[in-house]
Amino acid sequence: MKFTKPETTNPIDQMKVVGKPLDRIDGPQKTTGSAPYAYEQHAAAPNAAYGYVIGAAIAKGRIVSIDTAAARRAPGVIAVVTYENAGKLGKGNFNTAHLLAGPEVQHYHQAVGVVVAETFEQARAASSLVKVEYAKANGSYDLAAAMNAAVTPKTGDAESKVGDFDGAFAGAPVKLDATYTTPDQSHAMMEPHASIASWDGDKVTVWTSNQMIDWGKQDLAKTLGIPAGNVRLVSPYIGGGFGGKLFLRSEAVLAALGARAAKRPVKVALQRALMINNTTHRPATIQRIRIGATREGRINAIAHESWSGDLPGGGPETAVQQTRFLYAGGHRLTRLQLATLDLPEGNAMRAPGEAPGMMALEVAMDEMAEKLKMDPVTFRVVNDTTVDPEKPGRKFSQRRYVQCLRQGAERFGWDKRQAKPGQVREGQWLVGMGMASAFRNNMNLKSAARVRLESDGKVTVETDMTDIGTGSYTIIAQTAAEMLGLPVERINVRLGDSDYPVSAGSGGQWGANSATAGVYAACVKLREQIAQKAGLDAAKAEFLDGAVRAGGRSVPLTEVAKGGAIVAEDTMEYGDLEKKMQQSTFGAHFVEVAVDVATAEVRVRRMLSVCAAGRILNPKSARSQVIGAMTMGVGGALMEHLAVDKRHGFFVNHDLASYEVPVHADIPHQEVIFIDETDPTTSPMKAKGIGELGLCGVGAAVANAIYNATGVRVRDYPVTLDKML
């Protein structure tokens, strides 16, 4: 099915099941520990041996020699795989660095090999006997030092210019020129990268933890140099991804290589100590923002430049993205600058681009509002735009941004905020309020599904879509239930298997709308087949209360299916609707903090997010996405920071003890409001992404609240107390 024009009405609009705050159907399995995660697929691969990954001890250089003799003799050891005996490996489409080093080493903790043994402890003990000799080369590890040599990458959209920024900025009566920094950050998900690989002849099955099944399957085939048809990936449950599991990672390749060498299934969970330097991270940025406005507060000139670094062949963090869409202003400039760094590979982490970009832009907007003596909410409302500011005439499909700002301000009690900072004191605490916009683009990806009306009247949905803790199982069941007029209890959803039709996968907040749209397409086909079989006019058929009816006749689906299951498969594909109209998601974040007068300890007291993101398919799982994102935003504002060892080129705090994220005690009352909205241009579901929107801007709202409380403006994240004293 091709989606080419805005959808008017369809069965989803009944909203009998879609739009209801259903509990997650996989919830009981997850909370009772009975949902098998990748490393726990004991039944699928009994007799699996254990792999232990060896990470490179240098950031850049060469492996001179590897001596595995002692390790091979150690108790329980079955195989040791390094580049010397792995065979020729290809490189997939999505990784910048090779997933197995040798002889070249491209980053610290890049996998050098895997030791396979009968037990985990034996593999770990033997790995310490592997002697690797390195020839170290000099690398570049410091973004601030490398930024002068940065270049504008040739990605086509690394730079945008409208009008004459320099001239307009020079002549602006009120202006700001400020630089902000965001640190390297880690996904730090609970479940590490984990895989069990099992070969059957020249075919391999990998039970893994991956957000994008088809990307992973294709890349594993390319890496191993085997046909994609010989690779099966299975990933029904995922313990968090945040972008870290968008791509094939080393543990899956090493499990496959280890299993081939050991001639039996091998399981590998990337050790927590390797999780940060072996994998990808959100790259640090240095962002310069210049804004020029009239005395009345109209932006006339706005420039946003962002510097980030990556390994040779890598890409930039697209932190200027939102600045192209969010505010009006005739003279504009955005530019990405990419430096070469030999740190581990930078890549997507939840809302790549907008997440760090909004941390800078929305503090700049707060600073500018203060210079203008304007309320920060009013300043944003004044600079709203109804068209894409870089492409006049091109409209937003929906833009309920001002509504988010106004509703949020009212609900939060924003009118009680003191404009002058440092005015409100409660005992030892200075109290302040801050706000920021939320913005994230919406993307739709092609997505397929198969639906089957079983002979017992139940329906099975199969798609390789993943559920990374987001609620995919539930919204897919709701979609099929709505389309077929059945209660959700009669829908059985099967996800995360490359044997199923290729879905959009979970990334870039495109998963919910795209994957359910694919299920919609398959259900449209199934409805036609069911109606035909029931001898009814398919064009007039309605599906309600477990029956199909048309022309005064009603046939229960159990009756229709009696003769045998009915199967339909389809793909939702997109025309150029997205290109004609800008699809984005909008919101506003409000935060109240208290800062200890003596120690500068920050306590977040209240948070509110208002989101406009199309139809909300399930308000409960959507709210969970947003409160999770708000929590992550507090981490980004106050804690998260990969500390770079600039001499040796690695992230020092490479575990969950020293990479700090918020815990329950750090998180206060959180409230989420969804603006009532449907977007008929996104898909028949009329939904958009929400999981990343909820993060974008939170950090700035916290930083702005800290400024309002204390009068101290910190432009370098995280806002730790040492920067305030």
Sign of the four-CA dihedral 479, 480, 484, 486 = negative
- The answer to whether 349 contacts ligand MOS (rule: CB under 6 A) is yes
Binding piece for ligand MOS, criterion CB under 6 A, among 77-85, 346-354, 620-628, 673-681: 346-354
Give the one residue of 324, 350, 450, 688 binding ligand MOS; rule: CB under 6 A: 350
CB-wise, 205 or 347, nearer to ligand MOS? Answer: 347
- The answer to whether 348 contacts ligand MOS (rule: CB under 6 A) is yes
β-pair type (547-550, 542-544): antiparallel
Tokens of 311: 């390994």
Binding piece for ligand MOS, criterion CB under 6 A, among 57-65, 235-243, 305-313, 549-557: 235-243
Binding piece for ligand MOS, criterion CB under 6 A, among 14-22, 57-65, 136-144, 347-355: 347-355
Q: Footprint of ligand MOS on residues 417-476 (CB under 6 A)?
A: none
Among the listed residues 7, 370, 462, 692, the single catalytic one is 692
CB-wise, 382 or 443, nearer to ligand MOS? Answer: 443
Q: Under a CB-based contact definition with an 8 Å cutoff, are residues 531 and 538 in contact?
A: yes
CB-wise, 292 or 689, nearer to ligand MOS? Answer: 689
CB-wise, 79 or 336, nearer to ligand MOS? Answer: 336
User: How far apart are CB 19 and ligand MOS at their closest, in Å?
Assistant: 25
CB-wise, 507 or 684, nearer to ligand MOS? Answer: 507
Binding piece for ligand MOS, criterion CB under 6 A, among 1-9, 173-181, 349-357, 632-640: 349-357
Closest among 284, 315, 141, 114 to 195, alpha carbons compared: 114
- The answer to whether 55 contacts ligand MOS (rule: CB under 6 A) is no
User: How far apart are CB 354 and ligand MOS at their closest, in Å?
Assistant: 10
Task: Give the three-class secondary structure for 435.
Answer: strand
CA–CA distances in Å: residue 431 to residues 374, 502, 702: 20, 51, 12
Give the one residue of 150, 246, 339, 690 binding ligand MOS; rule: CB under 6 A: 246
CB-wise, 317 or 366, nearer to ligand MOS? Answer: 317
Residue nearest to ligand MOS according to CB distances in the complex: 243
CB-wise, 246 or 293, nearer to ligand MOS? Answer: 246
User: How far apart are CB 549 and ligand MOS at their closest, in Å?
Assistant: 42
- The answer to whether 243 contacts ligand MOS (rule: CB under 6 A) is yes
Q: Under a CB-based contact definition with an 8 Å cutoff, are residues 8 and 458 in contact?
A: no
- The answer to whether 211 contacts ligand MOS (rule: CB under 6 A) is yes
DSSP state of 582: B
- The answer to whether 352 contacts ligand MOS (rule: CB under 6 A) is yes
Measured CA to CA, the distance from residue 116 to residue 132 in angstroms comes to: 17
Active-site residue, 573 included: no
CA–CA distances in Å: residue 659 to residues 55, 188, 346: 19, 8, 17
Binding piece for ligand MOS, criterion CB under 6 A, among 136-144, 196-204, 241-249, 551-559: 241-249
Tell me which amino acid residue 391 is: K
- The answer to whether 508 contacts ligand MOS (rule: CB under 6 A) is yes
Q: What angle do CA 548, 554, 558 make, to 5 degrees?
A: 60
Give the one residue of 102, 241, 408, 628 binding ligand MOS; rule: CB under 6 A: 241
**Torsion of Cα atoms, 53 then 57 then 62 then 67, to 10°:** -60
Sign of the four-CA dihedral 688, 691, 697, 698 = positive
Measured CA to CA, the distance from residue 74 to residue 96 in angstroms comes to: 34
Alpha helices in 115-164 (DSSP H): 120-127, 143-146
Closest among 140, 96, 115 to 55, alpha carbons compared: 115
Q: What are phi and psi of 723, to 5 degrees?
A: -85, -10
β-pair type (231-234, 203-208): parallel
Q: Under a CB-based contact definition with an 8 Å cutoff, are residues 430 and 594 in contact?
A: yes
Binding piece for ligand MOS, criterion CB under 6 A, among 236-244, 441-449, 529-537, 647-655: 236-244
Give the one residue of 102, 356, 507, 694 binding ligand MOS; rule: CB under 6 A: 507
Distance, C-alpha 686 to centroid of its chain: 21
List, by residue number, the catalytic residues: 692
For binding to ligand MOS (CB under 6 A), which residues are involved?
211, 241-243, 246, 348-350, 352, 507-508
